[in-house]
Amino acid sequence: KTTIHRSDYRVPTHLIDTVKLEFDLDPESTGVTNTMHVVPNPQSTEKGAPLVLNGEELTLVSVTVNGRLLSETEYDVSPTALTIPNIVGESTISIVNRFSPVQNTALSGIYVSGGNLMSQCESEGFRRITYFLDRPDVLARYTVAIRAPKDLYPILLSNGNRMEEKDLGDGRHYALWVDPFPKPSYLFALVAGKLVCRSEIFPLKDGRQASLEIWVEPQDLEKTAHTLESLKKSIRWDEERWGLELDLEGFRIVATNDFNFGAMENKGLNIFNARCALANPKVATDDDYLRVESVVGHEYFHNWTGNRVTLRDWFQLALKEGLTVFRDQEFSADMLGEASARAVQRIKDVRFLRTNQFPEDASPMAHPIRPESYLDINNFYTMTVYEKGAEVIRMLQTLLGRETFRRGFDLYIAKNDGGAATLEAFLEAMQEAAGRDLGQFALWFSQAGTPRLKVETRWDDVNHTFTLSATQTTPATPGQPIKRPFLIPFPVALLDPTTGAEMPVQLIEEDEAPAPGTRMLELRETHHEWVFAGLPACPVSSLNRGFAAPVILEADYDDATLAFLATRDGDPFNRWDAMNELMLRTLHAQVRAKLTHEPKDVDPLFLNVVGELLSAPDLSPAFKAVALELPSERLVSEREPLIDPQAVHYAREYVRAAIGKRWITKFLETVDANRTPGAYSPDPESAGRRALKNLALGYAHASGNPRATIALRDQFNTADNLTDKLAALQHMVNSQSPAKQDMAVEALREWYAEPLLINKWLTIQATASLFPGEEPVLERVRELMQTNFFSIKNPNNVYALLLAFFTQNAAEFHAVDGSGYRFWSEIVLELNRINPHVAARVARALENWRRYTPALSRQMYDALQFVYSRKDELSPNVLEVIEKTLG
Ligand code: HT7
Ligand code: ZN
């Protein structure tokens, strides 16, 4: 495989406007007859170029052009392409080929899952089904005929509308599907198997009735009520918030246990990883309920942002993914209701970005939201494209205001409907709506790295002016040594230093003071200075409110100011952020203490803020739960000059215990005050109470209080919902309590037959802390790999056990003897043979190897080199990750 560059883009030499696919389904060897209407592309400058169709892992049977069967000398077939010369006019090309679903362990193309057949075509899976122009800017109308044995595959689904169904009389049956909308091949879908469905006729805003169907294996039917509700909410929300309607008579969701990713937005036939589609109180936590809602929303919203308006090429991926993540974040926030509840959504989204995308932006894999080149596009379904992509879209809304942004969005849809667009097209629509040049904003598309914003303030006691100066710098990233300044929205408030009330933010050159509140500043240059007047006393500044821009803010706050903001700032995001910063500082101090062997008490100022937030009458339980949660070890590590995972783990546990001990009475009271009597409901209010109760239980247990241990055992035995049961198990497993073993065994006995639960159980085992006298976690992980509830071919099992061990149990994975790294290289090589996509995700676990202490980073380097020494066996996916990681 060769590197593809963004600048290499050429319009396709040919277009395919219609395609008929006839399938003869057989798990061992499926036959396809693919009849395409092909026309030379009038826009192509490569006149007379041969037609080069992509194809992989296919067996070609025959090629017919305009009714004439070609001889083998009249075309060329290679492992990746079928080349047919002389397609100079409109032509009907019919190709017969075969492929093997059972041998497809990569889960790209058509594969077997639990005896059913599923497809996954994004990004380049269609070429594993038949020969085609497998690129997003070739849009065709699809007709799909499926013939299949009735006993194995009683249900036959594809995109669009079912036009015909009949029995073929020989134990087989037939279904015909027609999709009225032109689409790129990556949105093709086919599902066949023993499935049942929950369905409902749903009225659309314009009066049409749509049939909504959730298809699953029979044992999962009772887990689909929330899926259907989420779909209905998504349809309504897209109508109301964006004026976008469902354009189909039917909309189908299918769940499968074997899937590389979360879900896929195939036109009218979304396919979901079961963990993002199924929920009931026994198998899903409150967070799972939220995830199902947001992923159902995300895939549904793609129907417009991705499907009706698709991508010109894969470098534009953020155009559909960033925009659709932004839309699903807004959807989730709107489902929570009022402003302070919405803030919890924003906090979780930003925490996710900082934990996952910021490290990527600082790693050898750093890339802009629109990458410049790739070896394998599958490696670019990244946190940067998705999460930073969403932040970039959000910044446009913040800069232009909701109304103008909406007008720009409408314009973008109207101009590009039915076409394949670029990020520039999106920006052009925004420019047109705003009547403003946004050229500089495009740097967010092309420059990688997280900008740092250094802010300094000065109070002039004589003139009563307050000066705010901000300097932006963006560190060099691979291939981009020098960066230009970004256009950055920068909302600021000035707070009364005693009450925290917002004061007017009046620039010195202005005659009139604006109303008190947030003021939107903009950064365009490297350095800015603003002078504010009309202030009675030196204010406390509240900066980048709501996390308007995805930057690292370096403000000159001392701990007392952070404590003030954590308890007084009227912007709930910044209130949380100040507390988070205090926590990070406290944890960092303990890491230093551990490394220098100079024990240090946890700062009482910090502990007091914890107490104040815990008792604050104006804060919701959901907010308290996020505000009082200690930052993850991963986030703490990001701030360390050299990462020592064991010291970070020790420090976090130490601070947890100190908080627990200081406020034990309050925590036990909080547990009692936040029980949720009555039947389980995942509504935001109840979920918030459960989150706070379980957080309080965790702190109380960490303090060594026996009442907490009893409460945890009791909760495990009596919980009527998975959130409580799992929290109890997790707190116990991560402690020295002698009861933990029995509890884990009991959970395994109860959860054994349910894949969703067994995966949770595997993650708890893989991420467990180790205590003296216990078997190393690595050994446990190895043993679990041999059980019959783990299969290395199943991505969810791999993510739950192996990826969780590599990425969420740093203290154990980074064992000083290097055993974790040797295990990692074995696994990467094994997965590389089975499923390159999954292997590449696992391979990324060592991407920040340079950031660790020398003893560890040397061994990480050796493990990377070991994998690299097998270069010839590596898939392009894994090779690209290893090469970039080694630098
Ligand atoms: N657009 C979908 C991406 C996806 C995917 C990509 C590569 C390999 C497998 C995959 N399955 C789904 C998911 C989404 O963002 O909506
Ligand atoms: Zn998506």
Q: Which residue has its alpha carbon closest to ligand 1 atom 13?
A: 264
Q: How far apart are CA 697 and CA 464, in angstroms?
A: 48
Element (H, E) at 806: helix 804-808
- Residue 34 backbone dihedrals phi, psi, to 5 degrees: -115, 110
Centroid of ligand 2 to alpha carbon of 323 (angstroms): 9
Out of 303, 381, 838, 877, mutate this one to test ligand 1's pocket (max ligand atoms within 8 Å of CB): namely: 381
Structure tokens at 863: 């493990």
Instruction: Look at ligand 1, atom 11, and give the residue with the nearest C-alpha.
Output: 261
Task: List, by residue number, the catalytic residues.
Answer: 299
- If phi > 0 it is left, if psi is from -120 to 50 it is alpha, else beta; for residue 459 that is beta
Residue 340: predicted pLDDT: 77
> Measured in angstroms, how far is the CA atom of residue 143 from the centroid of ligand 1?
23
In the chain, which residues have pLDDT < 70? Answer: none
| Ligand approaching nearest to the C-alpha of 106 | 1
Please state, in angstroms and rounded to a whole number, the distance separating the CA atoms of residues 97 and 85: 19
Q: How far is the CA of 438 from the centre of ligand 2 (A)?
A: 25
In angstroms, the CA 689 to CA 620 distance is: 8
- Out of 128, 253, 264, mutate this one to test ligand 1's pocket (max ligand atoms within 8 Å of CB): namely 264
Amino acid type, 385: V
Can you read off the two tokens belonging to residue 141? 């109308």
Distance 446 CA to ligand 2 centre (A): 20
Nearest residue CA, atom 1 of ligand 1?
A: 264
* Distance (Å) from CA 342 to ligand 2 centroid: 22
Atom of ligand 1 nearest to the CA of 306: 1
Query: Nearest residue CA, atom 15 of ligand 1?
Result: 321
**What residues are paired with 18 via a beta bridge?**
37, 141
CA dihedral 312, 316, 320, 322 (to 10 degrees): -170
Position 506 scores a pLDDT of 97
Nearest CA to ligand 1 atom 3: 264
For strands 250-256 and 552-555, give the pairing.
unpaired
Distance between CA atoms of 393 and 644, rounded to whole angstroms?
36
* Cβ neighbours for 164, distance < 8 A, ≥ 6 positions apart: 174, 175, 176
Counting ligands in written order, the one closest to the CA of 841 is: 1
- The set of residues, in sequence order, having a beta carbon less than 8 Å from that of 325 and lying 6+ positions away, is 298, 386, 387, 389, 390
Name the residue at shortest CA distance from atom 14 of ligand 1.
Answer: 264
Name the closest-CA residue to atom 2, ligand 1: 264
Return the ligand number nearest the Cα of 380.
Answer: 1
- State the pLDDT at residue 1: 81
Asked whether the beta carbons of 164 and 174 are under 8 A apart, the reply is: yes
Q: Ligand 1: distance of its center to the CA of 317 in Å?
A: 11
Please report how many Cα atoms fall inside a 13 Å half-sphere around the Cα of residue 78, on the Cβ side: 7
Residues 6 or more apart whose Cβ sits within 8 Å of residue 745? none
Q: Which atom of ligand 1 is nearest to the CA of 378?
A: 7
Substitution candidate for ligand 1 out of 105, 113, 120, 122 with most atoms within 8 A of CB: 122
DSSP state of 371: -
Q: Which residues line ligand 1 (CB under 6 A)?
A: 120, 122-123, 260-261, 263-265, 298-299, 302, 321, 378, 381, 837
Question: Going by C-beta distance under 8 Å and a sequence separation of 6 or more, which residues neighbour residue 858?
Answer: none
- CA torsion angle 861 862 866 871 (round to 10): 30
Whole-number Å distance, alpha carbon 411 to ligand 2 midpoint, is: 21
| CA–CA gap between residue 299 and residue 277 (Å, rounded) | 11
Q: Closest Cα to residue 20, out of 185, 142, 132, 131?
A: 142
The pLDDT, as a whole number, for residue 337 is 82
Which domains are assigned to the chain? Answer: 4-194 (2.60.40.1730), 310-446 (1.10.390.10), 452-556 (2.60.40.1840), 557-658 (no CATH), 663-743 (no CATH)
